[in-house]
Structure 1
């Protein structure tokens, strides 16, 4: 079973949505966790606008509670998917040599823009982008 860790700044919008979307799409072939670089929203639910965007796509983010990344999470994962280049740079600085090969961008060659502080339409666009990006991480041979 493949183990993925999605990471954004606060584990409040993008990475929990990515975890939920990947879990639905990957099924039993993968286990997905999410985390944030900062603990500002530790143990808090996802952003209400992202919860609504997820609901529009048939996903339930209500059970999510934010958590800050740990070295144990990095060790656990087969792949660590950063939502943007700034998150990826920070992960490179903290992950250690043993985990550096696991790091990459969720969309491979571009950022998932952070919707924080913007309107519901931006959250909806972000959710659609992340949902489409799940195809980059699904190994069809395992499904």
Structure 2
């Protein structure tokens, strides 16, 4: 059975779009990954240009991303909801409903993925490296 994962950050503009790509690459055909943001500020818009550059440096193409605001249907769809920081996690817990609360967890397990918004390209790169490395927490090692 294919595992369904949903990566969530505040705006679906930086962290969760990159996590979607990184998790999809690592999981291959065994996973389907979507991403969304708690707020709709960047709905329908491309990812942050600095994150697009960071993704490119790591061999990912983020140019096709368009922001989405999270819906209850997305939460219902997912087997796992991987949240980028504790503030977003707290808000999701308040709105998600009993069955979906059990699916929610921080992407890094016990710490936040720092939001690079408003920072320089190096900060975005560091964020992307952290997100990509942490895919191992959610998806086992790929077989050669």
Task: Verify: 1:63 aligned to 2:68, yes or no.
Answer: no
Whether the 8 Å CA contact 1:29–1:142 is kept in 2: the answer is no
Gaps of 5+ in 1: none
SS in 1 for 2:115: coil
What's the TM-score once normalised by structure 1's chain length? 0.97
Gaps of 5+ in 2: none
- Deviation track 1:47-84 (CA, whole Å, cap 9, x = no partner) reads 00000000000000000000000000000000000000
Whether the 8 Å CA contact 2:26–2:142 is kept in 1: the answer is no
What's 2:81 paired with? 80
What's the TM-score once normalised by structure 2's chain length? 0.96
Deviation at 1:98, TM superposition (A): 1.3
The runs of 4+ residues in structure 1 deviating greater than 4 Å are 140-143
SS in 2 for 1:5: strand
Q: Distance in 2 between matches of 1:107 and 1:132?
A: 10
**1:141 to 1:46, Cα distance in 2 relative to 1, 3 A:** closer
- Equivalent residues, number: 143
Task: Verify: 1:99 aligned to 2:100, yes or no.
Answer: yes
Q: What RMSD in Å do the two structures reach over aligned CA positions?
A: 1.4
